[in-house]
Structure 1
Amino acid sequence: MALTGRRGALSEHALSPHDDVLRTAAPHVARRRFLTVTAAAAMLAFATNRPARGATAAAELDAARVSADPFTLGVASGDPLPDSVLIWTRLAPEPFAEDGGLGRERLVVEWEVAADERFALVEQRGAATAHPEYGHSVRVDVKGLMPDRHYYYRFRVGGWISPTGRTRTAPAAGGETGAMRLAAVACQSYQDGYYTAHRHLAQEDVDVVFHLGDYLYEYPVDASGGARRYNDRTLPDVFNRETVTLADYRLRYALYKSDPDLRAAHARHPFLVTWDDHETENNYAGAVDENGSPPERFLVRRAAAYRAYWENQPLRAEQLPQGPDARLYRRLAWGSLAQFDILDTRQYRSDQAYGDRPHPQGPESDDPARTLTGAAQESWLLDGWRNSGALWHVTPQQVCFSQRKFEATTPARVSMDAWDGYRASRDRVVAGAKAAGIDNWMVLTGDVHVGYAFDIKDDFDDPGSRTLGTEVTCTSITSGGNGSEKPANWDTYMRANPHMQHYDGRRGYVRVELGRLRAQVDFRTVSGVTRPGGTVSTSASFVTEVGSPGLKPA
């Protein structure tokens, strides 16, 4: 979410080596060739920082010499498939030291996966290497598991044993799964408050958690941790600066993952993650940053941010960045019940129109050459819908998909950072959903630090037009402080957007149960985040029926 609303004069479309089909804007060809060269240079620089082999490899540290708990950043799992799941940890006996307290030595880590929490029925075990080049992170793609099962996992280094994580596999491909539960979270600015929502999420009975972006924020964090003034610790000065380098981003993840409530949520549920802007820099668009820096400089920063993101999330090797580029969009299924198409709306997007300021839609924002997803990702999404046999099609992504007018007047301003600023891109996606016959479509959104529920309309300016699906925005974990139930613009937004069924400005998360006949959406709201503790309650519930899109109060 934009916090400063500033952008430099650059307006060229971003280019990624993954997306060679954004050739329609001919005046930018020379610029794009330049970006391709600089991206390649950054990629080469980061490709050399990979674990070496043979005589040049980093020395191996004797696990017996690790004298402090190396599992301070917890454990996590992610992206469950019917026969495998990815398990993760990152070793850091000194989490606020640049090297995590392990220097430049590699370390062998043992792991186990069991059918029970006591590890009496160990299904698989093995060893993996924590390389300094990857921030001593460890990921194991555990294969050969049974579908639709819960498993427990842990790691060991010498005499140190990690916390136990609980994960699960997806149902068998095409299996007739009756129901599943998911949660969606986003926007967890450390300095804005305590992770009360994560503490309650760890106790929820859900199958998976979608993290929709802004896992961390690049802004400085002062010694008291911002709003976390009830902490009994003082943070080092290393956090009181904006993240720019790989070391900066690694340390910031260490700060966030030092939170026990976030660690508890990761240990309890498998996460499916995607980024938004703040994992790199506020409101960046492709190779264009907020302040109009030279693209070659920003791409180096983006490479550092992407590398640190992969190191600190339960992602497979397929998502390992190649310099400033990473294939984060991907597709997972839950039997025949649901298909999840996880999007990346930052890496491939055209620069925001009208200087990234709220503005009525106009020729600049409506240019058909503009894209939020990039053409390759857009084709991937639409092809996936055409070839799907799932009952529900869930699209976890970052920014508001539905029209969201800021005034009840005409013309009304809208966000140039959301899909409203890329109407041609949205129109192509909507047309693809209609052509594929997607009847039960749900978009999951983060970014805006409030809870919304929208009906996705065939024509947002005609309240009587056909409803094509639903959009659920999951508010923030902490970003924006405590918030309020009805922000000052509540009446205006509800009048200006008749397809908006719900608006709540407090913190929390969304819980969704997908069934064979209907889906239920519960907005879970915490009492506050600027003091530790706090309660959680269901502030609103809606249902949408199979074959009858649209939200109704539960």
Structure 2
Amino acid sequence: MAPTGRGTGLPELPSARVDAVWRAAAPHLARRRFFTIAAAATALAFGTGLPARGAMAAPRLDARRITENPFTLGVASGDPLPDAVVLWTRLAPAPYEPDGGLGQEQVDVNWEVALDELFVVVVSSGVALAHPEYAHSVHVDVQGLSPDTTYYYRFSVGTWVSPEGRTRTAPADGSSVSSLRLAAVACQAYHDGYYTAYRHLAQEDVDLVFHLGDYLYEYPVNSAGGERGYAAGTLPDAFDRETMTLTDYRMRYALYRSDADLQAAHATHPFVVAWDDHETENNYAGAIPENDVPPEEFLVRRAAAYRAYWENQPLRAAQLPQGPDARLYRRLHWGDLSQFDVLDTRQYRSDQAYGDRPHVPGPESDDPARTLTGDAQERWLIEGWQASNAVWNLMPQQVLFCQRNFDVTDPPKVSMDAWDGYRASRDRVVAGAKAAGLTNWIVLTGDVHVGYALDIKDDFDDPASANLGTELACTSITSGKDGADKPVNWEAHLRANPHMKFYNGRRGYLRMELDREAARSDFRTVSAVTTPGAPVTTAASFVTEAGAPGLKPA
């Protein structure tokens, strides 16, 4: 079968479908308020429209009129399957302008996939439309590729050619795979420093990268780029406000994606992405915002944030949001070696207990009805484990899964924003893992801006209880600025959590290698992000043996 590609394209939503989308969102809203705000919310969330067809379609732009490089935001690939991978770019000759410099015209974008860097052996090619309704982003789902194969790709518009990207497909379903190399990253506040860790990650020999959330921060970025210290006036004032509208989010992604180090990592490795809170708003929970904003107003903001996220990530059409909702949790495989159950722990969660502050667990947080994943995602996860034949089951997700006592007081405070604030939800997931007989279970986590290595215990209050799996938190790319090897609460954290085997506060990423006998984890850190060019070192390494849960120093 010859490789093919499906470029978006993507369906428009007629008015009846828009109404259906907002009716589907009605459970988020109080019934008495829904119908009074539905029309206004729909207008706000869908005011930019979705691609129309025929006579109503946006006009085509003659590519010869593009006089500046349209590939300022780089290229990316993601979600590799045995026979397919998603290719991404977004045209923006003026990336800091609201329309990216292309106005409201469609643009034909050529794409190629080859077996070699010189593009002598081209195996697939085509033309995709960059729609103004999708901020001139392009998502090509290239199909008919060979399993377990490295490919090179590029885009072109008129005389302009994009940077070259490298990607790969997953091994064939069920095939015997000897090893896998991956990395995990999270939390990249642009204003907190340089993406030095990404430059080093681009040079790592890994098969794919998991981004575990906080790709974007909604906070203002001043003209100096915060800690980056640009010359005054370097960045437009449009960035110096919190993101609220679709235009705000699109422009903020343009700022982040203009970074050369981030572009290098994306161009070198396929990414599997999932959001946390800051892609929309700090610590939101489902339809409930951080502050006292009515849920129906917040859902309009969430619709804008979700739309911009999809536009700027290498995601398939299946992840395209419908208003304020998007199915981001999904399952991928790496032959018979590993199954990846990528979670979304923001969109479906109950509101945080006790005002979202660290608190001793109590009746409010321990209500059995509370959920971090939502019932449907929880069932999907556990049923997927029951059907898994993989050697390793990885659960990439956002907030800390293991118990984390903040101090040695009795009882200790814990985070109400993490799984500690949803202990009944965690208990159900742990019970599901035990019932499925998972012996090689690894949880990958972002959010906390530090590196942790923890044993998942059958009973976190009993250090002698059985180990059920391993949790690895990957620290941040920049969030929290430079950090320190031993944060001020380093000793207290380790004393209060005997299952915590490692704690480091520097910036960086997690590198892992899995084979059929063991999983090795390396915590890669840089000494500074407030100045560019810091070297990367390995702060610690651990091994988890197959069939014997528990972390051991490598």
Question: What TM-score do the two structures reach when normalised by structure 1?
Answer: 0.94
1:176 aligns to what?
176
Question: SS at the partner of 2:300?
Answer: helix
CA drift of 1:137 comes to 0.1
Would you say the 8 A contact 1:46–1:322 is kept in 2?
Answer: no
CA distance in 2 between counterparts of 1:374 and 1:33 reads: 24
Would you say the 8 A contact 2:223–2:230 is kept in 1?
Answer: no
2:264 aligns to what?
264
Letter in 1 for 2:102: L
Percent identity, please: 70
CA distance in 2 between counterparts of 1:473 and 1:448 reads: 8
Would you say the 8 A contact 2:386–2:436 is kept in 1?
Answer: yes
1:416–1:40: structure 2 CA closer, same or farther, 3 Å change rule? farther
1:165–1:232: structure 2 CA closer, same or farther, 3 Å change rule? farther
2:491 aligns to what?
491
2:350 aligns to what?
350
1:70 aligns to what?
70
1:282 aligns to what?
282
Alpha-carbon displacement from aligned partner over 1:143-182 (angstroms, at most 9, x marks no partner): 0000000000000000000000000000000010000001
Would you say the 8 A contact 1:19–1:348 is kept in 2?
Answer: no
Question: SS at the partner of 2:79?
Answer: strand
Question: SS at the partner of 1:459?
Answer: coil
CA drift of 1:40 comes to 9.2
CA distance in 2 between counterparts of 1:31 and 1:305 reads: 22
CA drift of 1:292 comes to 1.9
1:516–1:232: structure 2 CA closer, same or farther, 3 Å change rule? farther
Would you say the 8 A contact 1:17–1:325 is kept in 2?
Answer: no
CA distance in 2 between counterparts of 1:129 and 1:336 reads: 37
Whose relative contact order is higher, 1 or 2, with alpha carbons under 8 Å and at least 6 apart? Answer: 1
Larger deviation: 230-239 or 250-259?
230-239
Unaligned runs of 5+ in 1: 1-15, 23-28
CA distance in 1 between counterparts of 2:437 and 2:61 reads: 56
Equivalent positions of 1:214-363 (< 5 A) are 214-229=214-229, 234-363=234-363
Alpha-carbon displacement from aligned partner over 1:533-552 (angstroms, at most 9, x marks no partner): 11001110000000000000
1:528 and 2:528 aligned: yes
Question: SS at the partner of 1:470?
Answer: strand
Alpha-carbon displacement from aligned partner over 1:202-249 (angstroms, at most 9, x marks no partner): 000000000000001000000000000156971010000000000000
Larger deviation: 448-457 or 232-241?
232-241
1:39–1:333: structure 2 CA closer, same or farther, 3 Å change rule? farther
CA drift of 1:409 comes to 1.3
2:194 aligns to what?
194
Question: SS at the partner of 2:226?
Answer: coil
Equivalent positions of 1:353-392 (< 5 A) are 353-392=353-392
Would you say the 8 A contact 1:17–1:36 is kept in 2?
Answer: no
2:50 aligns to what?
50
CA distance in 1 between counterparts of 2:385 and 2:455 reads: 20
Question: What TM-score do the two structures reach when normalised by structure 2?
Answer: 0.94
CA distance in 2 between counterparts of 1:37 and 1:167 reads: 48
1:3 aligns to what?
none
CA drift of 1:45 comes to 5.8
CA drift of 1:47 comes to 5.3
Question: SS at the partner of 2:292?
Answer: coil
Letter in 1 for 2:124: Q
Question: SS at the partner of 1:251?
Answer: helix
CA drift of 1:79 comes to 0.1
Would you say the 8 A contact 1:42–1:303 is kept in 2?
Answer: no
Letter in 2 for 1:224: A
Would you say the 8 A contact 2:64–2:159 is kept in 1?
Answer: yes
2:7 aligns to what?
none
Question: SS at the partner of 1:80?
Answer: coil
1:12 aligns to what?
none
Letter in 2 for 1:346: R
Alpha-carbon displacement from aligned partner over 1:231-271 (angstroms, at most 9, x marks no partner): 69710100000000000000000000010000000000000
2:165 aligns to what?
165
CA distance in 1 between counterparts of 2:216 and 2:494 reads: 30
1:460 aligns to what?
460
Would you say the 8 A contact 2:338–2:394 is kept in 1?
Answer: yes
2:14 aligns to what?
none
Aligned residues: 532
CA distance in 2 between counterparts of 1:304 and 1:272 reads: 21
CA drift of 1:56 comes to 1.0
Would you say the 8 A contact 2:25–2:324 is kept in 1?
Answer: no
Would you say the 8 A contact 2:25–2:325 is kept in 1?
Answer: no
Equivalent positions of 1:416-427 (< 5 A) are 416-427=416-427
CA distance in 2 between counterparts of 1:416 and 1:428 reads: 17
Alpha-carbon displacement from aligned partner over 1:474-499 (angstroms, at most 9, x marks no partner): 00000000000000100100000000
Letter in 1 for 2:279: E
Question: SS at the partner of 2:414?
Answer: coil
2:548 aligns to what?
548
CA drift of 1:31 comes to 3.3
1:80 aligns to what?
80
Q: What's the Cα RMSD here?
A: 1.8
CA distance in 2 between counterparts of 1:386 and 1:39 reads: 41
Unaligned runs of 5+ in 2: 1-21
